[in-house]
Amino acid sequence: MKYYLFCFTWLILAIHTQDWVSSHPIGMSTPVSFPYEANLKILTPTKGEVLRLEQSYKITWEAKTGGNVQIDLYKAEKLERTIEFSALSVAGANNVFTWQIPADIALGDDYQIMIFDVKDKENVAKSEFFSIQKSKKLPKWVIIAGSLGIVAIIGAVVLILGRPKTSRLPDPPNPDEGG
């Protein structure tokens, strides 16, 4: 799983050493490498995950240092929109931002989330590709029609069985009338 956009290794071909007194070269090292790993790691959304329009999802990430991060949505590796300009990121914690996917986002399977430190734009992580698809929610007219159907059934039951009988309580005595 690819977590980091900028994950690379510095390679130094050789380190030359010299005598400080005579300034003569003493030797040369073999190549030395220093891996660099970004501070941020996106946990969700995951590769191939399907997100749905008008639903809420948790964007989660780990951070080695704290601060504020910006969360961007990319489509086909181009910035689609900024989801959040300044989300709090806590070092050593699983950070969470709940995102309600707007209805106006184009459907596709080429989306990525990018998170970067607002003070250090090189401290960045990009998710694997995921999909955004239509919601599976029932349309409102189906819900309304279903509710009306239930009301109609209750009404039919009352008509068939008859209305419950009620009796009226007698009026209480009036204290002004002597007794």
Q: In the chain, where are the structural domains located?
A: 39-133
Q: What is the mean pLDDT of the chain?
A: 80
pLDDT at 127 over 70: yes
Residues contacting 121, CB < 8 A, separation 6+? none
pLDDT at 17 over 90: no
pLDDT above 70 as % of the chain: 63
How is residue 143 written in tokens?
């819900």
Cα–Cα distances (Å) from 60 to 2, 43, 95, 135, in that order, read 15, 5, 5, 22
Q: What is the mean pLDDT of residues 75-79?
A: 95
Q: What is the mean pLDDT of residues 55-78?
A: 94
Q: What is the mean pLDDT of residues 50-75?
A: 94
DSSP string, 10-48: EEES--EEE-TTT--EEEEPPPEEEEE--SEEEEESPTT
Cα–Cα distances (Å) from 120 to 33, 83, 86, 145, in that order, read 24, 18, 13, 53
Backbone angles phi, psi at 15, to 5 degrees: -110, 120
| CA–CA gap between residue 167 and residue 73 (Å, rounded) | 66
Q: What is the pTM of this model?
A: 0.58
Per CATH, which fold does 39-133 belong to?
Immunoglobulin-like (2.60.40)
Instruction: Identify which has the larger pLDDT, 178 or 88.
Output: 88
| CA–CA gap between residue 72 and residue 123 (Å, rounded) | 14
pLDDT at 130 over 60: yes
